[in-house]
Amino acid sequence: MTQLALVIDLNVCVGCSACVTSCKEWNTSGEGGGGMVDMNPYGKDPTGTFFNRVQTFEVGEYPKTETVHFPKSCLHCEDPPCVPVCPTGASYKRKEDGIVLVDYDKCIGCKYCSWACPYGARELDAKQKVMKKCTLCVDRIYDTSLPEERRKPACVLACPTSARLFGDVHDPDSAVSVAIAERGGYQLQPEWGTRPANHYLPRRKNHANVDKEALHRIDNPLKKEEQRPAVSSELPSLDDFLF
Amino acid sequence: MTTQTNQATEIKSTTCYMCACRCGINVHLKNGEVKYIEGNPDHPLNKGVICAKGSSGIMKQYSPARLTQPLKRKANATRGEGKFEPITWDEAFDTLATRLKHIRETDPKKFGLFTGRDQMQALTGLFAKQFGTPNYAAHGGFCSVNMAAGMIYTIGGSFWEFGGPDLHHAKLFVMIGTAEDHHSNPLKIELGEFKRNGGRMIAINPVRTGYAAVADEWIPIRPGTDGALLLAITREIIEQGLYDRDFVVNYTNGPELVNMDPKSREYGMFLRFEVPLEEGCFDPQNKLWWDRELNKPISTHTPGADPFLTGEFKLKDGTPVKPSFQLLRERVESYTAEWAEGITGIPAATIKRLAHEMGITARDQKIELPIAWTDVWGNEHEHVVGNPVAFHAMRGLAAHSNGFQSIRALSILMSLLGTIDRPGGFRHKAPYPRPIPPCPKTPNKPEDVKPNTPLEGVPLGWPADPDDLFVDDKGEPVRIDKGFSWEYPLSVHGLMHNVITNAWRGDPYKLDTLLIFMANMAWNSSMNTSDVRDMLKDKDENGEYKIPFLVVCDAFHSEMTAFADLILPDTTYLERYDVMSMLDRPISEYDGPVDSVRIPILPVTGDCKPFQEVLIELGSRLKFPAFTDKDGKRKYRDYPDFIVNFETAPGSGIGFLSGWRGQNGQKTMRGEPNPNQWEQYAKNNCMHHHVMPKSYQYMRNWNAGYLQWAQSNGLTRHAEPINIHLYSEVLHKFRRAAQGISHGKQPPERLRKRVERFFDALPFYYEPLENEMINKQEFPLSALTQRPMAMYHSWDSQNAWLRQIHAHNYLHMHPSVGAKNGFDDGDWVWVESVHGRVRCQARFSQSVEPNTVWTWNAIGKASGAWALEKDANECQRGFLLNHIIGEELPNQPEGQHYSNSDPLTGQAAWFDVRVKVYRASDKEQGSTFPQFPTQPRYPGMAKPVGKWQTFIGGSGLFKNRFKGK
């Protein structure tokens, strides 16, 4: 059974927010309808609906500090806690590809799902009072009018460092499954039993590897700079005595 | 390319302009409204990706901050109040043409044209030259001119548009200082690939954000001390023998002999054995090496010769000489790692280890590409060899008053490692490499500025010796910004940051009309912003404005527009033609020249007019020779017509665009104008990419095939080798003048010491200038700004989506700063420099060097500007550090004014400022300072949007925002 998901490589994410706004621009005009509202767009405390946000935080103490950019959107859990709590059946998980969606027509904006979601991935459209979230760009990934390599979520296409992979995590041969297996891809808070489909690839470090021996080389170019003092043949030498 | 897909969506290609990166984009339109902007997968620059800004272009196109009609200041309104009335373009052009005609007939230098944007210089520079004014520059002087000049005066090319790190082949990548601010998407693409391929990245930066976040190692450094670090690394590289001797010998002036006779007029100059047959802006091959085998001087590059790089020799006539590498070695002798530790804060062991890592990686992980090439001396090579250590740096190094020499040091380090235009190191992009320095020169005397006459030379050039300076017979400046004078001799991008102050003071003279294009000089593009705002509206004893007439061309309601007498509404990037020209700063790739265009995909909004059209119209009305025929009749219908038909000289075959030239569009680089050139660009992703043969793609400073190709295609005048200047005789010539040794131009007495000190042929470390003039104990911290990746300078606070990412900014600092000064995370604090103070909110961070505080640049805005509501976070909680950064050095002798800039290049020293930080009183908590009266909306702007906004492309609601205003 297919389970589509994003795999996000924290080793190359530079926190540029390309995924944040490319998601917004695709989905606000998306097939789901209704748009993605912005409140106080030009005033005090602007806020709005985004399906995907980048959180930046620091780990460790100076100077051993890591700055981590952490993009987060709906994780399309295999056991999504947002679905059973929905009183109207608006929140559902698709059998065919595992995408968790909201039927806006059925949603009454009661927010049960956002309380149930341990990841804070749901966003209430404050104007329409409808719960919205990442759809994995369901309205473009199956669009056969697009070239095949462009049938991916907008955030994946936008990402300049290719930190976002998209595919079927149930297919062991897919690029996402291979990346998870080879790079130690992990889920967020697996202890909650939600079995998020999205995974993250951890940072990995290449350490300096300077071999002191490598500093001592017969071909050190400084040797070429040694000047042999010119010695006169007029100086006394053994040749004056030996025969 | 236009494609129809389902749902009546139309897709058109053009080039992004949400920053200076210039990615290819495909814009989806529905019912004439933008619905979606995506990266163009067929574009060589961004290969289909797009950034946060590019993806938010919709919110710029339909921003309520857009200006839609020409405006003039109301008769009874004071400058800066922002009270305007609409006028027609006819009136605007009549006003301007009348005024400019008079200036041009009388004293052309009374007109100044300064532009925020520098990727349009081929046209704006041409306009200034044709007008006959020297007072022209783009923003480079306050951006990164040190990077351009420091590298071009050393290796004949530089980072950003003209070259960059080859991360495809590199194994080690070292990024020094903030460098996220340029070449963003291509660098991100390459960084992702580099890290996935297992490359190791080191970030040397006072702050760990941005790309430094994903570095394998972060090395915090104190701001402004990069030169000390680079010189110490260089010393270790030399003393350990980790330099690429073969590269240094063959491709740098390291082995060339320098006259060391202190009694000789030629002291410090290279020995020359004959007069060159041809003079030109290139290094004649008439210098000497000291051959190891023959133990005597020998002509450079003599087949079989092998020169000493170090040592001391005597010519037959007794003249003592040394190879310039020896002088470099002596120079760095005292720059030990231990010495640098005390300055940079980086442990000596780390500095040595860095040097070893660079040197050993370069030496032991060599790349050999099976690409045969021939050098200019006729030697055939079977391989292109690369030492895979790449560097990148931009404003972090550049924006200090010691930046030029630091960048010289970086360029020299890169050269010693043998990484110039080689795989895995630094690679050039066309039209670079160019001679050191490049050929164009400015006028060099006041008489070159003549009424009704185009300027002699170009407004911005590349001085090669003191006689190239643009000064009067007393050695004083001719330009309003004092560029190319003894104060800032190598100010190759001008000093836009001093124009307003100088014009206000009337030093060296007053201007009449100042035309500012797309530069927010009343806010984030100026240093000392509060005072500059006052200067813009200051009046003389007769009640006249000290800068009599101020024209601002901008697409948006910037802070600067409020000070205009006349506002010319520009279009957005989606509404106009544009070229990224080979005559300017094209988007070339390492493998060959690339230029590109913008083609309008939307009709012009309201009465907006592209600035290019304004220049063509004015140039025609003023009857500039380049814009009119011999009868004075207009030559070019409009800007697209100009682009197709303009040639650099009659019949030169060189124009703004290099692709599809010739009658049938079959010629590249050079060819007669092609009437269908725009259509060809439109059909080909709005760009032209000429991929050169592999054998021309490397070692271009010395590659015979490439240089001949470049010469025959007009990229360069001379197909001569461009040897790296480890030792800069060019700089030494200015020192000789200051010492009174050379004939020719001499600095005024007050500047002799300054020129002598800074024009050192070898890089050296000195503290940033302002540090020498203030009490460092009183101001113990360095204050920096960075550009966030989701914002481009001031442009994006008007952007409803992007401002949700950065609506206000904090001052970030290590918690110890708060502990020492009695405040907590989140407290409002005063940040005070010798120039003044601003109030902002403190945010503690572990990813900043403890002697440094920093913030995001240009997030803070003046109340009401950019069509934001008067209580928007940008003005209430955001702040601008510029208020406390001087445009001039503090504590100077009475009557003397020096720019707060690098004394060689005039690069604005933004990052030199030192501050103290202390808690604001309880009453002062909660808002930023300074505050300014709310800038009103202007006629023609869209109505306030209100509380809610939902964009749905194709609905027509946004497209119609500017109708019925």
Q: How confident is the model at residue A224 (pLDDT cuts 50, 70, 90)?
A: very high
Chain A residue closest to B171 (CA)?
A: A206
Percent of chain B with pLDDT over 90: 96
Measured between CA atoms, how close is A31 to chain B, in angstroms? 10
Tell me the longest C-alpha to C-alpha distance in chain B. Answer: 87
Provide, as residue numbers in chain A, all residues whose Cβ is less than 8 Å from the Cβ of B217: 205, 207-208
| Closest by Cα among B230, B229, B201 to B217 | B201
| Closest by Cα among A43, A187, A220, A32 to B241 | A220
- pLDDT, residue B3, reads 47
Best probe of the A interface among B245, B557, B804, B934, by most A CBs < 10 A, is B804
**Under an 8 A CB cutoff, do B56 and A25 touch?**
yes
Per-residue pLDDT for B7 more than 80?
Answer: no
Summarize the confidence of residues B140-144 as an average pLDDT.
Answer: 95
**Under an 8 A CB cutoff, do B52 and A18 touch?**
yes
Per-residue pLDDT for B665 more than 50?
Answer: yes
Instruction: Say which residue the tokens 């119209």 belong to.
Output: B617
Percent of chain B with pLDDT over 70: 99
Summarize the confidence of residues B536-543 as an average pLDDT.
Answer: 97
Measured between CA atoms, how close is B64 to chain A, in angstroms? 9
Instruction: Say which residue the tokens 């998980």 belong to.
Output: A93
| Closest by Cα among A22, A12, A38, A8 to B52 | A22
Chain A residue closest to B186 (CA)?
A: A160
- What distance in Å separates the CA atoms of residue B11 and residue B29, rounded to the nearest whole number? 6
**Per-residue pLDDT tens over the stretch B35-48:** 999 999 999 999 99
Provide, as residue numbers in chain B, all residues whose Cβ is less than 8 Å from the Cβ of A37: 948-950
- What distance in Å separates the CA atoms of residue A9 and residue B213, rounded to the nearest whole number? 13
Phi, psi of B839 (to 5 degrees): -110, 135
**Per-residue pLDDT tens over the stretch B750-771:** 999 999 999 999 999 999 999 9
**Per-residue pLDDT tens over the stretch A189-209:** 999 999 999 999 999 999 998
- pLDDT, residue A243, reads 67
**Under an 8 A CB cutoff, do B789 and A41 touch?**
no
How is A40-98 classified by DSSP, letter by letter? STTSSS-EE--SEEEEEEEES-TTS-EEEEEEEE----SS-TTTTT-SSS-EEE-TTT-
- What distance in Å separates the CA atoms of residue B567 and residue B71, rounded to the nearest whole number? 5
Phi, psi of B950 (to 5 degrees): -130, 115
Q: Which among A16, A38, A45 is the nearest to B949, CB-wise? A: A38
Q: How many CB pairs under 8 A join A and B?
A: 247
Q: How confident is the model at residue B2 (pLDDT cuts 50, 70, 90)?
A: very low
Q: Which among A17, A25, A160 is the nearest to B36, CB-wise? A: A25
**Under an 8 A CB cutoff, do B952 and A35 touch?**
yes
Summarize the confidence of residues B946-954 as an average pLDDT.
Answer: 96
Provide, as residue numbers in chain B, all residues whose Cβ is less than 8 Å from the Cβ of A104: none
Best probe of the B interface among A137, A161, A201, by most B CBs < 10 A, is A161
Q: Which among B55, B243, B949 is the nearest to A158, CB-wise? A: B55
Best probe of the B interface among A8, A19, A24, A25, by most B CBs < 10 A, is A25
The answer, for A127 touching chain B at a CB cutoff of 8 Å, is: yes
- pLDDT, residue B522, reads 98
Instruction: Say which residue the tokens 């494609």 belong to.
Output: B3
Provide, as residue numbers in chain B, all residues whose Cβ is less than 8 Å from the Cβ of A67: 208-209, 212-213, 847
What interface predicted TM-score (ipTM) does this complex get? 0.96
- pLDDT, residue B635, reads 97
Measured between CA atoms, how close is A172 to chain B, in angstroms? 21
Summarize the confidence of residues B609-624 as an average pLDDT.
Answer: 98
Provide, as residue numbers in chain B, all residues whose Cβ is less than 8 Å from the Cβ of A17: 51-52, 789-790, 805
Per-residue pLDDT for B965 more than 80?
Answer: no
Per-residue pLDDT for B1 more than 80?
Answer: no
The answer, for A55 touching chain B at a CB cutoff of 8 Å, is: no
**Under an 8 A CB cutoff, do B950 and A37 touch?**
yes
Per-residue pLDDT for B734 more than 90?
Answer: yes
Chain A residue closest to B354 (CA)?
A: A208
**Per-residue pLDDT tens over the stretch B210-261:** 899 999 999 999 999 999 999 999 999 999 999 999 999 999 999 999 999 9
| Closest by Cα among B413, B448, B445, B333 to B172 | B413
Summarize the confidence of residues B397-403 as an average pLDDT.
Answer: 98
Provide, as residue numbers in chain B, all residues whose Cβ is less than 8 Å from the Cβ of A18: 49-52, 54-55
**Under an 8 A CB cutoff, do B218 and A47 touch?**
no
**Under an 8 A CB cutoff, do A44 and B216 touch?**
no
Per-residue pLDDT for A118 more than 70?
Answer: yes
Per-residue pLDDT for B731 more than 50?
Answer: yes
Average pLDDT for chain B: 96
- What distance in Å separates the CA atoms of residue A82 and residue A105, rounded to the nearest whole number? 17
The answer, for A139 touching chain B at a CB cutoff of 8 Å, is: no
Per-residue pLDDT for A220 more than 90?
Answer: yes
Provide, as residue numbers in chain A, all residues whose Cβ is less than 8 Å from the Cβ of B52: 16-18, 20-22
How is B920-932 classified by DSSP, letter by letter? PPGGGTTS-B---
**Under an 8 A CB cutoff, do B311 and A50 touch?**
no
Q: How confident is the model at residue A235 (pLDDT cuts 50, 70, 90)?
A: confident
| Closest by Cα among B698, B666, B625 to B163 | B698
**Per-residue pLDDT tens over the stretch B470-484:** 999 999 999 999 999
Count H helices and E strands in chain A, helices first: 4, 11
Chain A residue closest to B238 (CA)?
A: A222
**Token pair listed for B597:** 């265009």
**Per-residue pLDDT tens over the stretch B816-838:** 999 999 999 999 999 999 999 99
Chain A residue closest to B954 (CA)?
A: A29
Is B717 in contact with B281 (CB distance < 8 Å)? yes
- pLDDT, residue B178, reads 84
Per-residue pLDDT for B279 more than 70?
Answer: yes
SS3 of residue B769 by DSSP: helix
The answer, for A14 touching chain B at a CB cutoff of 8 Å, is: yes
Chain B residue closest to A47 (CA)?
A: B804
Provide, as residue numbers in chain A, all residues whose Cβ is less than 8 Å from the Cβ of B198: 206
Best probe of the A interface among B25, B30, B33, B36, by most A CBs < 10 A, is B36
The secondary structure of residue B20, as a DSSP letter, is S
Summarize the confidence of residues B186-203 as an average pLDDT.
Answer: 97
**Under an 8 A CB cutoff, do A20 and B243 touch?**
no
- pLDDT, residue B265, reads 94
- In chain A, which among 210-239 make CB contacts under 8 A with chain B? 210-211, 214-215, 217, 220-225, 227, 230
Model-wide pTM > 0.90: yes
Q: How confident is the model at residue B390 (pLDDT cuts 50, 70, 90)?
A: very high
Query: What's the 3-state SS for B380-439?
Result: EECCEEECCEEEEECHHHHCCCCHHHHHHHHHHHHHHCCCECCCCCEEECCCCCCCCCCC
Provide, as residue numbers in chain A, all residues whose Cβ is less than 8 Å from the Cβ of B199: 206
Q: How confident is the model at residue B115 (pLDDT cuts 50, 70, 90)?
A: very high
**Per-residue pLDDT tens over the stretch B491-510:** 999 999 999 999 999 999 99
Summarize the confidence of residues B611-633 as an average pLDDT.
Answer: 97
Summarize the confidence of residues B126-130 as an average pLDDT.
Answer: 98
SS3 of residue B102 by DSSP: helix
